[in-house]
Amino acid sequence: MPRRTSRPASDRASSKRPASGRAARGAGREDSVSRLLRFARENRVETLDLKYVSLLGRWHHLSLPAERLSESLIREGVGFDGSSVAGYDKGSTSDMTLIPDPETGVLDPFWDRPTLSLICDIYKGDGTPFRRDPRGVARRAEAYMISTGIADRAMISPEFEYYIFDSVRHRTDPQISFYEIDSEEAEWNSDAEDARGTRIPNRAGYQALPPQDRLYLLRDEIVRLIQQAGIPVKYHHHEGGGPGQSEIEILFHPLLHAGDATMMVKYLIRMSADRAGKVATFMPKPLWNVAGSGMHIHQHLFLGDRPLFWDEGKWADLSELAHWYIGGLLHHGPALLGLTNPSTNSYKRLVPGFEAPVNLIYGLANRSAAVRIPAAGRTPETKRIELRPPDATCNIYLALAGILMAGLDGIRQKIDPREAGFGPFDQSIRNLPERQLRRLKTLPLSMGEALEALEKDHAFLLEGDVFDAETIESWMELKTREFLDVRNRPHPREIALYFDT
């Protein structure tokens, strides 16, 4: 069973101010190394599994015998070839080093032998941090926030929406292109011999009860593993899309830990589904005309023990600083989507007719808004905002860093979303007059538009040396290649529409 080797989850997720200062951090790392070594001995660990993230946001790993685990390995790391990893250095600069973060240690529940999993930071061969390491970008974003004096903690809680299917087949060649998905919950299987009238109609799966919800035992097992990995879970349920859609929400973590938790949750979900003979996907829109899967990002800022988004008696009990933060998110929204929604499939979810946002607006409890202020935040500590466009195709570290940088820029520039025409809109905008609807600013309609916006508007990301031009250029190059790869291929629907012209 997975267990964390670091401090208890309740401490990591609390609103208390974390220790700061170089000496404290150094002493803390030494303590965490000692705890890690003791944990490995007590659990008779036989294998170490070192995980690191590519620029595209996917985990890679390498494994080594547990006998290699020592203080020097944690300090000096393990070398690897960065030239084979998307977005990393080529040629003579490709020799890189993985430095394990001892606070990320967890027993992996899917290996046959006791295996200790560790998330790593990436260093260059000369011993300096690698600038394109996504965890490093997230660390620098937190450090920049502290340096501004605005806040010393950004607390983050992602929502995980995903589908679990029974089978997925696909093929793309010059003469053929198709995919086929099946789910035992799906309405299209209502005539199956074992259906028993329990299939879930399209868009009618929200918090469905067993026996319609056939995934509850698997989802409950996933939540058990997430909790044992030291990640507190808020709740889980069947989602509204219909066949196979589920949601799990976790509690708040500081930004870097939220990134680590996101990677671990996605791993546990995918592996649990695979072990059950199914397949999980975080693809934003795997099914046409069915609700897509987003990754809404709940967030708020603290300075010491003081929550910065609360001002009782104001609109939605929201402070001016919170308004400026929202102003930054919406002002930089089109560019931000180049990081938070970086797939061609992302924009098949961000369409009218579903709960996914299409306009750059904000409002209280408004699920059609890009920024929603949850009505449940009725105390200073729970007052938060929810950014609704993001999805799980993002590199979570880059996305969270970009979100924080946009919000901080809004505070620095005092960007008032009310004056900028972003709202507030406390109700759905569907019934607004057409003339007023036309004045609303919209989200990008495609990945290409989002990347163009990011190319034009990324100076806010360079503040404090958090991102750098080379990282953004590498990201743009990889993502433009993906965009063109999809854009340049004939689509099966095009055959139906145009073949007989």
Identity of the residue numbered 78: V
Give the whole-angstrom CA distance, residue 253 versus residue 407: 18
Q: Is 386 a catalytic residue?
A: yes
Q: Match 């397949």 to its residue by tokens.
A: 279
Give the whole-angstrom CA distance, residue 303 versus residue 301: 7
Q: Is 388 a catalytic residue?
A: yes
Give the whole-angstrom CA distance, residue 184 versus residue 191: 11
Taking residue 277's Cβ as centre, other Cβ atoms within 10 Å add up to 8
Q: Is 434 a catalytic residue?
A: no
Give the whole-angstrom CA distance, residue 198 versus residue 205: 11
Question: Catalytic one among 11, 71, 76, 81?
Answer: 81
| Chain-centre distance for alpha carbon 190 | 34
Question: Catalytic one among 135, 238, 388, 458?
Answer: 388
Identity of the residue numbered 266: K
Enter the DSSP assignment of 106: E
Question: Catalytic one among 89, 133, 247, 391?
Answer: 247
Q: Is 296 a catalytic residue?
A: yes
Question: Catalytic one among 142, 159, 311, 317?
Answer: 159
Identity of the residue numbered 130: F
Q: Is 367 a catalytic residue?
A: yes
Q: Is 455 a catalytic residue?
A: no
Q: Is 491 a catalytic residue?
A: no
Identity of the residue numbered 445: L
Strand boundaries in 407-500, DSSP class E: none
Question: Catalytic one among 367, 449, 455, 468?
Answer: 367
Instruction: Give CA angle at 238 (275, 297), nearest 5°.
Output: 95
Cis ω on the peptide bond leading into residue 211 (within 30° of 0)? Answer: yes
Q: Is 412 a catalytic residue?
A: no
Q: What are phi and psi for residue 63, nearest 5 degrees?
A: -125, 150
Q: Is 159 a catalytic residue?
A: yes
Q: What is the largest CA-CA distance in the chain?
A: 72
Active site residues: 81, 159, 161, 239, 247, 296, 367, 386, 388
